Structures are given as C-alpha cells and as structure tokens.
C-alpha cells in the first residue's frame, strides 16, 4: 500500500493513486495536471520523511474541475452603537484526482 501526505493550500491531505481530493484553487498546467508537494511517503513498511529523499518524489494529479464552496455568512454586531455588518464568502476550490506517486 503506497500513500503520501501532501501539502495543499495550507492543509495536508492523505492521498493514494485514484483518490479524488478537493483543494484550494490551484492553476493547472497546459496538460491539465498539477504537481503536489509531498510531506511524507509510506511505501509498505518504509516511511520517508527526510526532505532530501522527498525531493525525488513527485505526486501528480489531474484537474477534474473548478468549483466554489458552500457560502458562509459573517455577521458582526455591537450592542447600543448601531453597528452591524453582514458579509458573505465562497471559497474558490479545485477538484483533483491523483494519478501517480513516484
């Protein structure tokens, strides 16, 4: 069983070949793929976490599409001052499928 922990937009995700992951918006290359930075690689009983060894490892994923996350509402209110503010936000996301770990 081979899997990797990759750094993706301020978070870390556990991925295997074929895994579909939703990440913060990333731009795809001309061929529609992205390379993700590995933090840890597990290959059976062998665990690799040294930066020098991980420099040779590549995690490649194909972009399935861009989407936007669920809307969140930010409300601020201060009592007795007449201050209230309402703001919304939808995060820009990208859905990718991991194609190779090597």
* pLDDT, tens digit, 9 for 90 and up, residues 68-93: 999 999 999 999 999 999 999 999 99
In this structure, the number of other CB atoms found within 10 A of the CB of residue 82 comes to: 7
User: What does the DSSP 8-state code read for residue 55?
Assistant: T
Question: Would you state the pLDDT for residue 1?
Answer: 87
Paired strand residues for 67: 93
Confirm if 39 and 72 have CB atoms less than 8 A apart: no
Distance between CA atoms of residues 85 and 65, nearest Å: 33
pLDDT band for position 53 (cuts 50, 70, 90): very high
pLDDT at 79: 97
Task: Give, as one character, the DSSP assignment of residue 32.
Answer: S
């Amino acid at each position: 069983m081979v899997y990797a922990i990759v750094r993706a937009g301020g978070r870390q995700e556990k991925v295997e070949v074929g895994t579909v992951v939703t990440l913060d918006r990333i731009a795809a290359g001309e061929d529609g793929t992205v390379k993700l930075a590995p933090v840890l690689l597990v290959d059976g009983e062998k665990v690799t976490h040294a930066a020098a060894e991980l420099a040779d490892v590549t995690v490649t994923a194909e972009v399935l599409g861009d989407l936007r996350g669920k809307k969140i509402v930010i409300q601020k209110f201060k009592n007795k001052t007449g201050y209230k503010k309402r703001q919304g936000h939808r995060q820009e996301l990208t859905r990718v499928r991991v194609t190779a770990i090597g």
